[in-house]
Structure 1
Amino acid sequence: MKNYLKSFYKHQDLLYKLLLVVASAVLIVYTLPKSGKFQYDIQKGFPWSYNNLYADDDFAILKSESSIEEEKKAVRDNAILYFTYDEEKVNTTVSKVKDEIASISNDSTLKNLGSDKSELEKFTTDLLNTIYEFGVIDQAYSFNEERLIYLQKGNKASQITLSQLRTTAQVSKFLENEIVTSPYAPLKGKLLKVLYENIKTNVSFNSDLTEAAIKDGLSKISPTRGVVAKGSRIVARGEIVEGETLLKLLSLKSQYESQDFSESTYNWILLGYIFLVMLALVMLVLFIKTYRFEVYMNNTKITFIFFNVVLMVLLTTLIVKLKPEYVYVVPLCILPLILKAFFDARLGLFTHVITILLLGFIVPDSFEYFFLQVIAGIVTILTVPELYKRANLFISVGQITLVYIIAYFAFHAIHEGSVDNLKWENFAMFGLAGLGTLFVQPLIYVYERIFGLVSDVSLLELSDTNTKLLKQLADDAPGTFHHSLNVANLCEAAANEIGANAMLVRVGALYHDIGKMTNPTDFTENQATGVNSHEDLSPQESARIIVDHVINGIEIARKNKLPDRVIDFIRTHHGTSTVYYFYMKAKEVDDDVKQEDFSYPGPLPFSKETAILMMADSVEAASKSLKNPTSTLIDAFVEKIVKKQMDEGQFLNANITFKEIQQIKKVLKRKLNNIYHLRIEYPE
């Protein structure tokens, strides 16, 4: 049992990563569609790259979306419209007109015409009967006038054409013509007044019955046409996938993915998904272990990376389930941006590709999706060199959107052979995806608080010399502050030369000596009075004070909640080097003195940035001892200091090459020559 626990503790990091991979895989697979995956990739407009494909069984050919839409349009255009006839309104109108005609019958004009009340009533009643034969509607409908409609009167429905219904405008014209051409033309004004005031619309469009009829017609549309017989060839190798061939392949795919699987088959599909997803995630872990070992050894950072991968997969899966056509709205380019902000571009791009591979299981047109997202990810990585500069992010948004549009346009041209049917709403989605990338800034802030990471945005804030800690350093140890500024400038120039993180190394340089605030006058750069406190101390005590500024710096940094990436510079800027002056002074008294008593605790620099700081810090500090600096002298002492560090093995853990060290030395020489305003000495 004891050995078992010992083995467990020894491999707990590995077990945690394994558990993380399994948990992520299960969560991702849980959201994936559980239907079988069609084994062939169907690419419209491309040659069939597989062997000849034959039908194993009979299957129906699905109609194309455009064909079904045409049939639906035909149903809507040809559906019989239903109108309701209100007889009560007609009876009310006839009754009111008869009552008001009575007043006109006493008019002398009617007597002069040789007519009486009954004849006038009969004339108006005939007019009303003609008008209300099929009814009056309140507006002209946009349907074809000869379109058949059903006019419902009570429990009976008669079939007529739409043109047989009269609008109020048509009624007015009809009445005027009939009265003018009748014997009652002299009474035109009075008759029209009575009729206009009483004639009401009595036919209304019955939308419920009409929609029911349309739905019934739509339900009768068959989604299939024809059958592919068993054993017949579906597509030949090299044949262009389009037209009828495309419909057959899509029909075969739909039939395969919609079939009901047995429990055994379902379990095998599930197991296959788990293996594939775990394989992709394991590849991500192996990449991190091989190329970003410091990230691999930090479980928080590994968890952070997997969290973002799973989050993007879940978000995309949700969109695909709700609205598959909106899949490009998901701002997937946030992922490489975030990982680049916290780690580097290479890790960000690789993780982005792995995530897209996982999404290939669920998105429609997986090849097109993969191509567009990979290109967009590359553009994102290349166009945002410094995330803390807001202009770079806006430029990246424009370029991401442009790449999406160009790639979509190209794929559409290949698939359709024209650009007539471009879906312009997709361009809006690409724009939204680009704008969604702007959300990376607040997201970085949230991640810093949750996972305790630090990005270039936070580094920019820390580089401000007006921060509380740096102002305190300037007040308590002005010489050290000035030294830190000089070192920061040297480090930034060297980092830019070899492609390291210039912002990170600058911040590390600004804070690397904050431990000297504990005893500022024990360091020569702060001894303004010329009094050296070490003259009254033993070499061992002096060495301890000098070495302790690293320990004190770490304590001050943690108290002020500086990020671990910045604290790493405080811990490593002297590596395991020796306080050589006091060591040699102690040897003058006791030759048996131990060198480790005069050495820094380490650790050694473990990155390009921490190695740069070690070189720049030593060179800048040593340059203050040069009494009459010349270009030749500066070049020689830079070479001497860096060589000594290399001989001591201070850079063995840093991923820095000899070529990069040579470039750094060149920068340090040039910058120091500029500081001391020296010219290169030419031979006479």
Structure 2
Amino acid sequence: MMQKWNRLYEKYGQKVIVPCFLVILMLLAYLLMIQMTKPESFNAKLFSVAERTIRSPQTMIDTKKTEEEKTAAENSVEDVYTFNRETGQNRVALMDSFFAYISEVQGEVKEKTNKQETVSAADKVKLIKAKLSSNVSEKITASISDTMLLGLINADAKDLETVKTIVSKEVSLIMEGNIREADLNTKKVQARDDIELSNLPSQFKTTAKALASYAIVPNETFNEKETTARQKEAAASVIPEKILQGQVIVQEGQIIDRETYRQLGMLHLLDQKMPIKQYAGYALLILVLASILYFFTTKTKISRKKRQQTLMIFGVAYLFTLLLLFIVRLLEGANLNNIAFIFPASFLPVVLKILLRERYAFLGLLFISTTSLFVFQSDEASVVSSIITPFILLSGFVSIISLRDYSRRIAIFRAGFIVGLFNVFCVVFLMMINNSTILNENSLQSVFYAFIGGLGAFILALGLIPLFELLFGVLTTSRLVELANPNHPLLKRILMRAPGTYHHSMMVANLAEACADKIGANGLLVRVGCFYHDIGKTLRPPYFVENQLQGINPHDRLTPEQSRDIILAHTVDGADILRENHMPEPIVDIALEHHGTTLLKYFYLKEKEQNPDVDEASFRYPGPKPQTKETAIINIADSVEAAVRACAEPTREKIEQIIEGIIKERLLDGQFSECDLSMKELEQIRETLNQTLNGIYHQRIQYPDEKKGEN
């Protein structure tokens, strides 16, 4: 089954399987987020009795009440009017002009009379109307009757001046005050009353009243722009009506009236629905987290295959953590007080630190802390909802710091115990900060759950890490230590079938591990990879020189082409054997790549003696070339160990020449063109091989013959 999956992954993985897999993970994470954050539904009916106390799961603005408050604020703003002092002055001037025309008409009438011309009453009225209509206003002639006009024309100068003075004074006095359209009639009545009480001759009072009534007009106009601005300002100053998280909407036993029912509906406590914008918001949250992970991963200098493996491991671990969070939420629904503290906050950081790197552990902690913030904010007002996110953050951080040696299960378990104790301490001081009661049953439950959650996270991680290793072919330190055990069946197989190869592998492992440690590569991976890199030789042990008995070489009976096929096949055969035994992919890659595409020079030259036209490519290993520093180190160490072992008397100079020659040959052949091995690191590898091999093959001190037996 695993072989079929590996073949399918190799063929379609990078282009189809991995992208689809990641999209599916995002969709599942989104669905879990929605399921955990949607409001709880209550079977509440209008005018029924509430079966339980219902609190608001979130803080929300009551838009209806807020709009009502804004409307009330706008309506409370009085209309703004603009007072125009010039209006009063203009109306007084109008009266002065009116009386001036009366005086002018009186003069014309007198002049005509002096000329013995007859001027009738109608002519006098016509004459004054003509002047008023063309120079003052037609409306004044409509407000003043002909009789009144004629009376003023016929009045003597003293009476006319008295009427003018009283009218102008009254108009000026009234117009000094604020007059709106609604107050106009009142002001006119006031003017008429004042004139009635004045010392004006009675025959002119009616005319004076009419003139004053005509002259008085509104001097305040409605300012629509300023009124609208003040209404908007009043509306803006209204504090939005909010339903706060944890606020009691209805107490148990109370009647659910229309207002309460409306609030329950607005909070989606009747239909278990969220607003569309919240669905969109959570979708964007998942998208942002996925983008952060993607760009975080692309900044790491790793191969595309390794990057996709990292994304899948992180995605599956995060999704599994969300599933654990969902289970905790279900337990909360079963009215288990403070059960949220049992959430294994350390699980994701621990798994990511062991499977990937510490930097991914911190990123995973950021992800799960952010997620918990949104998940638990939908809780009713409780101690848990306010301190669970800092609890998860602190617990995860301490788990990363405390987990140092994860090559041994007991060390991981010990770290889990430490985190469990810290969780207890963390819950206590967070409750103290929150001013919660500590010495009661609920607090003791919280402490117990926190300890179980801390220790349980590590136990759960220990149980699931082998599954991650199997699914994604990832290697952990503990797995490498397990594979390095001499009692491993495959190592026993090599020892029993090809003891020379076994000894050669051990020697190469010592050399390669020293080089890996020198340049900062994964020394343990190099060592274990060396143990298994030549397992393909167990199919035909005698055809490899380290397993041949002295003087017996099976290749003497074979053609160069037959020998070539046997030798070249051991890398592919080894990879197949390792895959059949479900070995991690990096170990399989080492078996396949440790010779790269190097030339099988001995048999190639032997064939060329018989066939000068032989194709050199047919005598090269199938590859691929080393893809990692670790495989490149093994490529060099493998050849160097074999060459030095074949040397009759390996002196310091000979060893240096062998190492120098092999490294130079590999460089010129382009064997390291697909891995990120630098020239500086190659020089460090050369120096380390020289030191190590000279330490192994140092010249022994020559003792006297009689003491040789003592050595």
TM-score, normalised to structure 1's length? Answer: 0.60
- 1:268 corresponds to: 277
Q: In structure 2, how many angstroms separate the alpha carbons of the residues matched to 1:37 and 1:652? A: 58
Q: Do structure 1's residue 354 and structure 2's residue 367 form an aligned pair?
A: yes
What is aligned with 2:352? 339
Show the counterpart of 1:114.
none
Shift of 1:412: 5.6
Match of 1:641 in 2: 662
Q: 1:265 to 1:289 in 2, by over 3 A?
A: same
Report what 2:566 is aligned to.
545
1:362 counterpart SS class: helix
- Say if 1:21 and 1:282, in contact at 8 Å, map to a contact too: no
5+ long unaligned stretches in structure 2: 1-11, 40-56, 62-235, 255-262, 378-383, 701-711
Summarize the Cα distance change of 1:343–1:608 in structure 2 as closer, same or farther, 3 Å threshold: farther
Matched, 1:57 2:240: yes
1:310 matched to 2:493? The reply is no
Deviation of the 1:454 alpha carbon: 5.2
Distance 1:513 1:663 in 2: 25
| Match in the other structure for 1:676 | 697
Cα displacement string for residues 266-291 of structure 1 (whole angstroms, at most 9, x for unaligned residues): 11211111121122123324434553
* 1:288–1:296 contact (8 Å) kept in structure 2: no
Aligned residues: 477
- In the superposition, relative to structure 1, how do residues 22 and 468 fare at CA in structure 2: closer, same or farther (>3 Å)? closer
Partner in structure 1 of residue 534 of structure 2:
513
Task: Map 1:432-511 onto structure 2 (within 5 A).
Answer: 432-436=452-456, 437-448=458-469, 455-511=476-532
Residues 281 and 354 in structure 1, CA contact (< 8 A), matched pair in contact too: no
Alignment of 1:570-609 (within 5 A): 570-609=591-630
Q: Quick one: which of 505, 522, 525 aligns to 2:546?
A: 525
Give distance in 2, aligned partners of 1:573 and 1:448. 23
CA distance in 2, matches of 1:586, 1:313: 63
Alignment of 1:218-257 (within 5 A): none
Change (3 A) 1:219 1:283: closer
Equivalence for 2:415: 396
Deviations 1:513-539 (A, max 9, x none): 111122212111111222233344443
Change (3 A) 1:678 1:282: farther
Distance of 2:672 and 2:605 partners within structure 1: 24
Selected match of 1:555 from 552, 576, 583: 576
Instruction: Return the offset for 1:476.
Output: 1.9
- Distance, in Å, in 2 between the alignment partners of 1:327 and 1:586 is 74
* Distance change (3 Å), C-alpha of 1:623 and 1:31: farther
What runs of 5+ residues in structure 1 fail to find an aligned partner?
1-7, 41-52, 66-217, 222-253, 680-684
Question: For the residues of structure 2 that align with 1:503 and 1:586, how far apart are their CA atoms?
Answer: 40
One-letter amino acid matched to 2:648: K
AA aligned to 1:390 is: R
SS at match of 1:396: helix
Specify the structure having the higher radius of gyration (Cα). 2
Query: Structure 1 670/550 Cα, relative in aligned 2: closer, same or farther at 3 Å?
Result: same
Query: Retained in 2: the 8 A contact 1:491–1:506?
Result: yes
Q: Which residue of 1 aligns with 2:31?
A: 27
CA displacement 1:372-421 (0-9 Å, x = unmatched): 54554454345444433133213322443455456556656665599999
1:308-335: CA deviation from partner (whole Å, max 9, x where unpaired) = 2112112223324543733332223222
Q: 2:18 touches 2:312 (CA, 8 Å); kept in 1?
A: no
Q: State the 1:303 CA deviation.
A: 4.5
1-side partners of 2:27 and 2:403: how far apart?
33
Alpha-carbon distance between aligned partners in 2 of 1:371 and 1:508, rounded to the nearest angstrom? 43
CA distance, structure 1, for counterparts of residue 339 and residue 310 of structure 2:
31
Offset of residue 22 of structure 1: 4.0
Distance 1:416 1:258 in 2: 29
Structure having the higher helix fraction is 2
Letter in 1 for 2:649: N
Question: Matched residues in 2 for 1:628 and 1:9: separation?
Answer: 51
> TM-score by structure 2 length?
0.58
**Larger mean Cα displacement after TM superposition, 517-526 or 30-39:** 30-39
Instruction: Say if 1:337 and 1:58 are closer, same or farther in 2 by CA, change over 3 A.
Output: closer
Residue equivalent to 1:326: 339
Aligned partner of 2:689: which letter? L
Alignment partners' CA distance in 1, 2:385 and 2:683? 47
Q: Matched residues in 1 for 2:696 and 2:528: separation?
A: 21
Q: Matches of 1:492 and 1:424 in 2, distance apart?
A: 51
Instruction: Go from structure 1 to structure 2 and tell me whether the alpha carbon gap of 1:274 and 1:521 turns closer, same or farther (over 3 Å shift).
Output: same
Asked if structure 2 preserves the Cα contact closer than 8 Å seen for 1:539 and 1:586, the reply is yes
1:302 Cα deviation after fit: 4.8
CA contact (8 A) 1:579 1:599 kept: yes
Match of 2:448 among 408, 422, 428: 428
- SS for the counterpart of 1:360 is helix
Map 1:80-119 to 2 at 5 A: none
Give, in whole Å, the separation in 2 of the partners of 1:543 and 1:39.
77
